[in-house]
Amino acid sequence: MTKSTQLFTESKKHIPGGVNSPVRAFTGVYGEPIFIDKADKAYLYDVDGNKYIDFVGSWGPAILGHNHPQVAKAVQESVAHGLSFGAPTALELEMADYLTQHIPNLELVRMVSSGTEATMSAIRLARGYTGRNKIIKFAGCYHGHSDALLVNAGSGALTQGTPSSAGVTPGAAQDTLVAKYNCLASVEALFKANPTEIACIIVEPVAGNMNCVPPVEGFLQGLRALCDQYGALLIFDEVMTGFRVDFAGSQKLFGINADLITLGKIIGGGMPVGAFGGKKEIMQQIAPLGGVYQAGTLSGNPISMTAGLTTLKLLNHESNYKNLEQSTTYLIEGLQVLAHKYGHDFYTTKVGGMFGFFFTKEEVVDLETASRADIEKYKKFHQFMLANGVYFAPSAFESSFMSLAHTKEDLDFVLEVAEKAFANL
């Protein structure tokens, strides 16, 4: 029995499903979870001594690769100053200053400890600011696991087959209206039916929780126009896309102004983090300035701020995004050619350092088209790749992430293994 199997068996005795987040249980693919011992650069090392080229990157944060020496050093130095104070620090100011300088329309920003908190708080703020109750989200988008947002959710909820969770009261869900991603008509219909009741639209500017589904031309512009027409706020959930698709995020990439922006993952450099912010006038409604309450014991944690700031400063070179784009294009085009060589329907997507692939021949633009892809084939592909040292997400409904640590040799190795996988599928 492998050490991973032993640990999984023991973990199931003490942790629900043996994991602290559902998709890690490998319910979306074949086999059992791999228990990780350590990670470095583009590689994961499991407790049995196997090495994997990693395209999960801790679900997004590891954009520099794992265990970057400068991040590790900065964190060690920060640890020497203490782990948490529950009082303001200069580091929080530095982070807020850095984020507001680099992210458009982010005039004030509040740090939290997870993406879930960031989106939950942004929604509360949008409701408090507009005095309206209803919100619009998109089927297949995931914004964390707060009640109002666990409706037609993507990511693990979708993988588990529970996109609308048990335990969410009808009251908590009734004000969440669900539209179709990349379909402005579905959004317009909701506005027409509820012209003065919708506080906000929350959207992943590039969807990454039904695998990677980019916005079609005009979609985000259309959302902005509808929000303006009906007096609703536009929230860009950039927990995944922030510093991933472009240094300044999706607003710059697509030329759209959002009213509120949520961040997470990369801005914590691998430590727990989240943030939400936006226009001053809106953010001033947050306590202690305004009547919308929000707080957190570990918010702005010094170790998270240090890991995040060091990561962001290392990332802040245009060449990094060119490199990410090049690596992603090289891999995804290589996979495409090989899949077709062996007669598989295969559709690929990419934006900056995130990408996706689907065993389907149709264009994937929303949850319906993503769900029509051959999930069984993904599972078999995943199993083969994992057995041969390549770690893709253990679910067909997750985006993949490139890091700056992936070398051409790594990618060539992946393509070599993928060719065997496609030949065997």
Catalytic residue set: 142, 237, 265
When asked if residue 367 is in the footprint of ligand PMP (CB under 6 A), the reply is no
User: Is there a contact between 351 and 213 (Cβ–Cβ < 8 Å)?
Assistant: no
38-46 — which CB contacts under 8 Å span 24+ positions?
A: 38/67, 39/66, 39/67, 40/65, 40/66, 40/67, 41/65, 41/66, 41/67, 41/403, 41/405, 42/66, 42/403, 42/405, 42/406, 42/407, 42/410, 44/391, 46/3, 46/4
When asked if residue 240 is in the footprint of ligand PMP (CB under 6 A), the reply is yes
Minimum CB separation of residue 144 from ligand PMP in Å reads: 4
**114 or 371, CB closer to ligand PMP?**
114
When asked if residue 249 is in the footprint of ligand PMP (CB under 6 A), the reply is no
The neighbouring-strand residues paired with 358 are: 347
**74 or 157, CB closer to ligand PMP?**
157
**274 or 300, CB closer to ligand PMP?**
274
Minimum CB separation of residue 240 from ligand PMP in Å reads: 4
**271 or 339, CB closer to ligand PMP?**
271
Amino acid at 129: Y
Among 114, 211, 369, 403, binds ligand PMP (CB under 6 A): 114
Task: Tell the residue number behind the tokens 């929303």, with chain if given.
Answer: 366
Stretch that binds ligand PMP, among 232-240, 280-288, 324-332, 351-359 (CB under 6 A): 232-240
Among 18, 22, 140, 144, binds ligand PMP (CB under 6 A): 144
When asked if residue 63 is in the footprint of ligand PMP (CB under 6 A), the reply is no
Neighbours of 222 (CB within 10 A): 19
Element (H, E) at 337: helix 318-341
Minimum CB separation of residue 370 from ligand PMP in Å reads: 15
Give the footprint of ligand PMP on residues 83-112 (CB under 6 A). Answer: none
Among 105, 119, 182, 311, binds ligand PMP (CB under 6 A): 119
Triad 167, 170, 173: Cα angle to 5°: 90
Q: Give the integer Cα–Cα distance in Å for 373 and 359.
A: 5
Give which of 81, 58, 38 is closest to 306, Cα–Cα.
Answer: 81
Among 4, 78, 105, 116, binds ligand PMP (CB under 6 A): 116
When asked if residue 176 is in the footprint of ligand PMP (CB under 6 A), the reply is no
Among 74, 199, 234, 239, binds ligand PMP (CB under 6 A): 239
Minimum CB separation of residue 236 from ligand PMP in Å reads: 10
**127 or 145, CB closer to ligand PMP?**
145
Q: How far is CA 219 from the centre of its chain?
A: 20
Among 24, 127, 134, 143, binds ligand PMP (CB under 6 A): 143
Minimum CB separation of residue 21 from ligand PMP in Å reads: 7
Neighbours of 135 (CB within 10 A): 25
Stretch that binds ligand PMP, among 12-20, 63-71, 137-145, 291-299 (CB under 6 A): 137-145
When asked if residue 359 is in the footprint of ligand PMP (CB under 6 A), the reply is no
Q: Give the integer Cα–Cα distance in Å for 108 and 280.
A: 6
> Taking CB under 6 A as the rule, which mask of x and - marks residues 264-283 in contact with ligand PMP?
x---------x---------
| 383: its two tokens | 């199993």
Amino acid at 228: D
Give which of 2, 17, 13 is closest to 47, Cα–Cα.
Answer: 2
Minimum CB separation of residue 155 from ligand PMP in Å reads: 6
370 to 33, 226, 355: CA distances (angstroms): 24, 26, 14
Minimum CB separation of residue 154 from ligand PMP in Å reads: 8
User: Is there a contact between 214 and 349 (Cβ–Cβ < 8 Å)?
Assistant: yes
Minimum CB separation of residue 49 from ligand PMP in Å reads: 29
**138 or 230, CB closer to ligand PMP?**
138
How many alpha carbons fall within 13 Å on the CB side of residue 5? 3
Q: Give the integer Cα–Cα distance in Å for 69 and 82.
A: 20
Q: Give the integer Cα–Cα distance in Å for 294 and 120.
A: 10
Minimal CB distance residue for ligand PMP: 115
**121 or 155, CB closer to ligand PMP?**
155
Among 4, 78, 155, 360, binds ligand PMP (CB under 6 A): 155
Local structure of 102: helix, strand or coil: helix
When asked if residue 59 is in the footprint of ligand PMP (CB under 6 A), the reply is yes
Interacting residue ranges for ligand PMP, rule: CB under 6 A: 59, 114-116, 119, 142-144, 155, 204, 208-209, 237, 239-240, 264, 274
